[in-house]
Structure 1
Amino acid sequence: MESNIKIAPSTAKAKLSNENHLKQIKKEFILEGLGCAHCAAKIEEKVNELDGINSANVNFMTKTLTLEMKEANGMEELINSVTNVVTNIESKVKVKEKINTKLLKKEILLEGLCCGNCAAKIERESQNIDGVKSAVVDFIATKLIMEIDSPSKQSAIIDEVEGIVKRIEPDVKVVVLNKDNASKNLEEHEEDGHHHHESEGSKSEMIRLAIGALIFGVATAMKFPNYIELVLYLISYLLVGGEVILGALRNIRRGQIFDENFLMSVATIGAFAIGEYPEGVAVMLFYQIGEMFQDMAVNRSRKSITALMDIRPDFANLKVNNDIKKVEPEEVKIADIIVVKPGEKVPLDGKVIEGNSMVDTAALTGESVPKEVGIGDSILSGVINKNGLLTIEVEKEFGDSTVAKILDLVQNASSKKAPTENFITKFARYYTPAVVFAALALAVIPPLVIEGATFSEWIYRALSFLVVSCPCALVVSIPLGFFGGIGGASKNGVLVKGGNYLEALNDVEMVVFDKTGTLTKGIFKVTEVNAENNISKDELIACAAYAENYSNHPIAVSILKAYGKEIDKDKIKNYEEISGHGVKVVIEGKEILAGNYKLMNKENIDYNQVETIGTVVHVAIERKYAGYIIISDEVKEDSAKAMKALKALGIKKTVMLTGDNKAVGSKIAKELGVDEVHAELLPDQKVEKLELLFKEKSSKGKIVFVGDGINDAPVLARADIGIAMGGVGSDAAIEAADVVIMTDEPSKIATAIKIAKKTRSIVMQNIVFALGIKIIILALVAIGLGTMWEAVFGDVGVALLAVLNAMRAMKVDNM
């Protein structure tokens, strides 16, 4: 059981509110050897009373003490005081500061990056920099995301990255994003500079191509002497392809030979060399037009994906005395009061203290039906206030808010690449050089071995061969497809933390569920109290409430709620938690036992065996049976639908693991159509059951575990894919899981699998289409049935179609 009890919350809150203008320091300590939940609560209470501590929280489960302190010179003395409090209460406990071993994360915007192949090269070379633990280029967001093992190295590493980018893509601008405000920083760069640069660049490019095309048209349509014709073709060629040739020369000087610029330059200059002037210009012209359309399609898809997650609030209306001040969400602190007008986005997580309204949660959960909120209700950032004026007390700073976490998850999902993406990146690395050498062989070998074959004919075929060889269709469209799937899933209330998890969902064979809070609502209520041996119902509830006071389990909470009175903690002595059984405690000199039938058996107490679908808590006073309390949970309306949907998708087996008794587990499993149920399990036994289930699946099959993300963290971690239910607003769920279902609906698991299958289908279509067309054109060119025109389509035409197809992954309306 976990202790998270706040002593005198109103005092702590007032303290925080009065001093909220001071900067706070947060520190975490490991309480080594802490084994008593009651002592944990005492430590928390006493530390909260220390002057200089704004808040103290002891997590008994993880044996962690979290402190929020005022920034002061006497911090060392304050920590010594905290240590003294701990050792006075629990002399054997050692206090050790938790060292944050996280790597430094750095994000760099690659402004103007539009070549997928170049992005892969930048990623590969950045990974080899000394001090860089990982480097991933997110081509969709045009960002390089790096993990650096030492902050002192970051300046040198960034300089090296700039050198790599300048060598591979000299026109790309490197912008180091602000650590604390990366997403906002990125938006500002896109809005202030990128769009203007993009529109100006594309306009001048279109004018240049139009003039080149006009001169080419004149040279083709009219009869001129040979030398004038050649001059006109050369002028149009330089206007259309001069930039490509310069790019090729720059890259050759830097050692980057096998790229698109080089291939097109060799092919078209070769066409001029063998006297095919019109074809040399036309191929370069249509290549450039195709590239322009491809860039437009990629940019459009980027904007579409960004629009899917347009949930970042632009401002907050901060209430200062009786005035309203419009500020950045980052400026608002905990306990500040903000006002949200109709039509505005809620900028931060908090609690409604005045007003009521309908809110649109579609951006977070994909649910189209507005939800009503009023005084006392929690409200999440990112939702849109529909009709009323709301006054909200802020409970989380912007960096810790729901909207910030969702944005961070979606924006960084591309850093966890799917196996297919990694394969395509490696494939592209070897594919282009292989085709170049094949083209060289095609130009040289046939004229030497085939009688009557001419070099000019086979050189032309080899040049056409080169045009087809660029792998951009795959390098661009594959990550675009996966990110489109992730973006579409988030719009539908499903957060997927990376392309690797999205792809893994395709191979799910078994879905394992926790019961409480996953298939059931997790809202426990005392439905029956049966007292015996001259004990009144009120006394029975009181004894159970005192016994369960230090537990935050939903069953304990329901008993405390049914009791409804304040607990005098001084009456509680010798608290002992008996794992998997219940609790033993002394209250005003009387020993109280409260727990399941296993606790009664263990203590040799005769009890009434109860057949019910609820959870039964038996109570004994002074080793005499005093009666039992029945607590019932309600099955979610959506759970049966989820099981049917999973079966329809071909999931081989559904399993339920629960700590509840067999009668309850079996009844709910039968009602929902779950294939297998294992009841009365402790958290470590759930892991053991999961290990046994791993033996039943195929080598490629995946097991999903669905839980609440808090109590089931070990099982979530062990499963191939961990899915947290009701994750919005739950920090632990977002941390523990690979996929977060934001609507608390089990049926969204089937939705996530459908999106994964659709995404894989689109990705495979692009792979088969791109490679298939290229192989066909390569074969046709090699045997003389194909020309450079088909080759250009095999390059830019295929890439454009693949990008347009990848954009379909974002559409999830019919899921």
Structure 2
Amino acid sequence: MEAAARKELILEGLCCANCAAKIEAKVKELDGVSLATINFVNKTLIIEAQNTANINEIIDKTKAIVNRIESDVVVKEKTILKSEKKVLILMGLCCTNCAAKIEREVAKLPGVKSAVIDFTSQRLIFESDGSEKVNIIVTQVEKIVNRIEPDVKVLQEEKGKKVKYHAHDEEEGSIKNELIKSGIGAAFFIVAIVFNFSYWTEFALFLISYLLIGGEVVLKALKNIKNGQIFDENFLMTIATIGAFAISEFPEGVAVMLFYQIGELFQNLAVNRSRKSITELMDIKPEFANIKINGEERKLDPDDVRIGDVIIVKPGEKIPLDGKVIAGKSMVDTIALTGESVPREVEEGSEVLAGFINKNGLLEIEVTKEFGESTVSKILDMVQNATSRKAPTESFITKFARYYTPVVVFSALAIAVIPPFVIPGASFSDWVYRALVFLVVSCPCALVVSIPLGFFGGIGGASRKGILIKGSNYLEALNSVDVVVFDKTGTLTKGVFKVTKVSPQDGVTPEELLTFAAYAESYSNHPIATSILNAYQKDVDKEVISDYEEVPGQGISVKVDGKEVLAGNYRLMVSKNIPYENVDTAGSVIHVAVDKNYAGNIVISDEIKEDSKEAIRALKGIGVKKTVMLTGDNKSVASKVGAELGLDEVYAELLPDQKVERLELIDKEKSSKGKMIFVGDGINDAPVLARADIGFAMGGLGSDAAIEAADVVIMTDEPSKVAGAIKIARRTKTIIWQNIVFAIVVKVVIMALGAGGLATMWEAVFGDVGVTLIAVLNVMRVLKTDNI
């Protein structure tokens, strides 16, 4: 069997989104092509052929198609240096400082283009130059992890397999062993405190207790020092507790290690609980698919089902793949994907998405997308990889922790050494104790653990509301929105056009006018064209159509059975010097001319979404300074929609490139730190979505190009979810900053008290482990988005 081939073509000069869609459709029809997709934003066409034998022939035919549809576009082949993306699970990773070290070292490995650790999901994602290097890199990663965190297991994420982030049997066994050792150590500790022994007997009991409770911490610190990894929490606790023994504070040395270990246990349980809660939000991947083959049912993994296969979904089961219902009727629960609690009715002909839950009826569904291309797969990929795009706050805290710990260690050293030589009568042991208190409280875990959890929790909570945010950086940017710019059709309006009026000129019948318009629009995929073809309700004989030409921003020129037909807006009539009838209506007007003679006009109406007025009101209610609408529709329609919704500014009759230009001008008017959102749904919106600070795509009905270009995807097509996303972002920021302020204030206070001799190691342990535990528990509140 021949190997499949993949080619990427650059379409230089491609500026017509409609033409891009036609090129894509035509290339898909070529024999031997298994995939063809155009990214309008970067003007690339990706083609996958079923085998390598005829790839050059396909490329030649593709060039001919492009030349026929867009003669000015230059087609160039791009050599693809395919990079390999690999995901490893670092099972048992609970030290954020160690995670940062692993990330830095992996990123420096030869052949690694990028590497990022998502501490929340314990995933290491790296991208290499090619697949042949992956196994070598994985081996090197295992060595790095083993050196920095010997207890962490490196597992390779298997395609289609879910990873559970709560403790497995082996981890539970390890926790049990630690509890037994700590329990025995605590018993020695209590005996040494309660009974009055000689100095050396007491020392021996405390030392045994210390080794049982904290021996592993000391061992880790020594291993890390040997490997050049000095400044971490193990080092801080080891120095602090050994220092306590050195100044004969045996009870406090053991007690600090005991409560540190207990605190670490509760902290890890809290972190694991947070991880589990967050990942369960996206536990929407179907486990299996019942496929119908020759009248019999077989249970398969969704990854093994192909386009065109028929699957059976029984009541209570998840729909495993995107498809079309070919038999049956039922109610489906869509809350996992859209956040909508009201079930949706589906029947024969209805489109359904993977992740919907079938409530009551038996459904037979013809698969229209493989699982890797399905909506649920894209959602899972978006959410799982969202934290790889780190927010500025998150990145700053990571860098801060890297330099903070060494500074604290040297500050503690200064506290221990300088005062006894400077202050008359100062006790060396007293200042060493103060320095040890300073060390214990200084660990930045509360910040570096809770902040990534906070952002991931915000992204997970938003996803349950049908709002998919592609990165922590976008979630944080949503806190600074000044301007929200909307597209009209399909965003603020339903995008479902209907022919509401046919007005022919004398000598032309309504049927003739509609026929000319339908033939002119037959190659277009615009909603207006679709509405005209739906009203025509007959097959179009494309054999009689020739000289098809789309005039950007105006309409279409075509010959139908030898007659020149023009169909478009008033600008097309003006450009061709054809007198036309001016129509004042809330709908879109398509003027038609035949052989330079005006034949009449067709009015097409679009309804405003019920949710749109609430969306604008909600945005103004949360302090957005300006709401704007950009549309290619005529000024009359745009003005009426804008006035009804209460928009601040409306700009109409814009071409796609003019939308970008207008967006640039709007961008200059906002404040220097303010952000601008653009909300759109169509392929024509892709350039504007990419240009905005934050691009929102209407994902439920939106085009793949718009979703690809956007930073946030709204699955329900409700514009009010824009305000919802901003509210979630603000709530997330509030909780994260509560943790930052709380942690810093408590630590600074205890550090100051410790340095002043007013705090003991008991307060220091609370300032480290206790603060971290409280911060992690506070993060759990991010998940509660019921009132948003």
1:441 alignment partner, one of 408, 414, 422: 414
| Alignment partner of 1:666 is 2:639 | yes
Cα-to-partner distance string for 1:372-395 (whole Å, 9 max, x where unaligned): 000001100001000000000001
The residue that corresponds to 2:772 in the other structure is 799
Cα-to-partner distance string for 1:405-450 (whole Å, 9 max, x where unaligned): 1000001111000000000011101111111111101111111111
Please state whether the residue corresponding to 1:346 is helix, strand or coil: coil
Inter-partner Cα distance in structure 1 for 2:543 and 2:32: 26
| Alignment partner of 1:327 is 2:327 | no
Distance verdict in 2 for CA 1:293–1:39, change over 3 Å: closer
Inter-partner Cα distance in structure 1 for 2:727 and 2:19: 49
Question: Once superposed, what is the RMSD of the aligned Cα atoms?
Answer: 2.6
> Match for 1:339: what amino acid?
I
Query: Could you tell me how far 1:74 is from its partner in structure 2?
Result: 5.2
- Percent identity of the aligned residues? 65
1:764 alignment partner, one of 737, 744, 765: 737
Q: How does 1:555-634 map to 2 (within 5 A)?
A: 555-634=528-607
1:517 alignment partner, one of 469, 477, 490: 490
1:428 alignment partner, one of 401, 412, 432: 401
Distance verdict in 2 for CA 1:35–1:111, change over 3 Å: closer
After TM superposition, the score normalised by the length of structure 1 is 0.92
Please state whether the residue corresponding to 1:416 is helix, strand or coil: coil
Query: Could you tell me how far 1:492 is from its partner in structure 2?
Result: 0.8
The residue that corresponds to 2:93 in the other structure is 113
The residue that corresponds to 1:128 in the other structure is 108
The residue that corresponds to 1:218 in the other structure is 191
| Alignment partner of 1:151 is 2:131 | yes
Inter-partner Cα distance in structure 1 for 2:20 and 2:742: 62
Are 1:773 and 1:794, in contact at CA under 8 Å, matched by a contact in 2? Answer: yes
Inter-partner Cα distance in structure 2 for 1:35 and 1:771: 52
2:625 alignment partner, one of 617, 638, 652: 652
| Alignment partner of 1:359 is 2:341 | no
1:173 alignment partner, one of 153, 168, 180: 153
The residue that corresponds to 1:494 in the other structure is 467
The residue that corresponds to 1:16 in the other structure is none
Q: Which deviates further from its counterpart, 376-385 or 574-583? A: 574-583
Inter-partner Cα distance in structure 2 for 1:734 and 1:44: 17
Query: Could you tell me how far 1:93 is from its partner in structure 2?
Result: 7.4
Are 1:343 and 1:387, in contact at CA under 8 Å, matched by a contact in 2? Answer: yes
1:248 alignment partner, one of 221, 225, 234: 221
Cα-to-partner distance string for 1:198-254 (whole Å, 9 max, x where unaligned): 211111111111111122112111222222222111111111000001011101101
Please state whether the residue corresponding to 1:711 is helix, strand or coil: helix
Q: Which deviates further from its counterpart, 574-583 or 399-408? A: 574-583
Q: How does 1:212-361 map to 2 (within 5 A)?
A: 212-361=185-334
Say how many residue pairs are matched: 788
Query: Could you tell me how far 1:41 is from its partner in structure 2?
Result: 10
Distance verdict in 2 for CA 1:57–1:326, change over 3 Å: same
Please state whether the residue corresponding to 1:137 is helix, strand or coil: strand
Are 1:638 and 1:746, in contact at CA under 8 Å, matched by a contact in 2? Answer: yes
Are 1:600 and 1:606, in contact at CA under 8 Å, matched by a contact in 2? Answer: yes
Please state whether the residue corresponding to 1:695 is helix, strand or coil: helix
Are 2:18 and 2:524, in contact at CA under 8 Å, matched by a contact in 1? Answer: no
Distance verdict in 2 for CA 1:681–1:173, change over 3 Å: same
Cα-to-partner distance string for 1:527-576 (whole Å, 9 max, x where unaligned): 00000021000000000111111111111111111111111111111112
Query: Could you tell me how far 1:75 is from its partner in structure 2?
Result: 4.9
Inter-partner Cα distance in structure 2 for 1:455 and 1:431: 26
Query: Could you tell me how far 1:109 is from its partner in structure 2?
Result: 1.3
Distance verdict in 2 for CA 1:69–1:769, change over 3 Å: same
The residue that corresponds to 1:18 in the other structure is none
Are 1:709 and 1:734, in contact at CA under 8 Å, matched by a contact in 2? Answer: no
The residue that corresponds to 1:477 in the other structure is 450
The residue that corresponds to 2:122 in the other structure is 142
Query: Could you tell me how far 1:106 is from its partner in structure 2?
Result: 1.7
Inter-partner Cα distance in structure 2 for 1:656 and 1:36: 21
Q: Which deviates further from its counterpart, 156-165 or 704-713? A: 156-165
Inter-partner Cα distance in structure 2 for 1:50 and 1:489: 41
The residue that corresponds to 2:501 in the other structure is 528
Q: How does 1:670-749 map to 2 (within 5 A)?
A: 670-727=643-700, 730-749=703-722
The residue that corresponds to 1:5 in the other structure is none
Inter-partner Cα distance in structure 2 for 1:37 and 1:406: 25
> Match for 1:160: what amino acid?
Q
Q: How does 1:54-69 map to 2 (within 5 A)?
A: 69=49
Cα-to-partner distance string for 1:64-87 (whole Å, 9 max, x where unaligned): 766564447555556566667878
Query: Could you tell me how far 1:577 is from its partner in structure 2?
Result: 1.4
Query: Could you tell me how far 1:120 is from its partner in structure 2?
Result: 1.2
Distance verdict in 2 for CA 1:90–1:553, change over 3 Å: closer
Please state whether the residue corresponding to 2:684 is helix, strand or coil: coil
Are 1:380 and 1:729, in contact at CA under 8 Å, matched by a contact in 2? Answer: no
Please state whether the residue corresponding to 1:399 is helix, strand or coil: helix
Inter-partner Cα distance in structure 2 for 1:602 and 1:631: 22
Q: Which deviates further from its counterpart, 200-209 or 326-335? A: 200-209
Inter-partner Cα distance in structure 2 for 1:143 and 1:39: 41
Query: Could you tell me how far 1:498 is from its partner in structure 2?
Result: 0.5
Inter-partner Cα distance in structure 2 for 1:759 and 1:632: 41
Inter-partner Cα distance in structure 1 for 2:738 and 2:345: 44
Inter-partner Cα distance in structure 2 for 1:504 and 1:40: 32
Inter-partner Cα distance in structure 2 for 1:707 and 1:751: 16
The residue that corresponds to 2:611 in the other structure is 638
Distance verdict in 2 for CA 1:62–1:257, change over 3 Å: closer
Inter-partner Cα distance in structure 2 for 1:87 and 1:670: 43
The residue that corresponds to 2:762 in the other structure is 789
After TM superposition, the score normalised by the length of structure 2 is 0.95
Distance verdict in 2 for CA 1:524–1:353, change over 3 Å: same
> Match for 1:691: what amino acid?
E
Are 1:505 and 1:702, in contact at CA under 8 Å, matched by a contact in 2? Answer: yes
Are 2:4 and 2:52, in contact at CA under 8 Å, matched by a contact in 1? Answer: no
Please state whether the residue corresponding to 1:533 is helix, strand or coil: coil
Inter-partner Cα distance in structure 2 for 1:35 and 1:284: 66
Are 1:38 and 1:550, in contact at CA under 8 Å, matched by a contact in 2? Answer: no
Are 1:446 and 1:453, in contact at CA under 8 Å, matched by a contact in 2? Answer: yes
Q: Which deviates further from its counterpart, 435-444 or 207-216? A: 207-216
Inter-partner Cα distance in structure 2 for 1:62 and 1:422: 28
Distance verdict in 2 for CA 1:601–1:51, change over 3 Å: closer
Are 1:318 and 1:336, in contact at CA under 8 Å, matched by a contact in 2? Answer: yes
> Match for 2:507: what amino acid?
N
Cα-to-partner distance string for 1:1-39 (whole Å, 9 max, x where unaligned): xxxxxxxxxxxxxxxxxxxx9997665545668899999
Query: Could you tell me how far 1:108 is from its partner in structure 2?
Result: 1.6
Are 2:550 and 2:556, in contact at CA under 8 Å, matched by a contact in 1? Answer: yes
Inter-partner Cα distance in structure 2 for 1:652 and 1:57: 38
Are 2:213 and 2:258, in contact at CA under 8 Å, matched by a contact in 1? Answer: yes
1:389 alignment partner, one of 362, 365, 370: 362
Query: Could you tell me how far 1:157 is from its partner in structure 2?
Result: 2.8
Distance verdict in 2 for CA 1:308–1:73, change over 3 Å: same
Distance verdict in 2 for CA 1:379–1:270, change over 3 Å: same
> Match for 1:378: what amino acid?
E
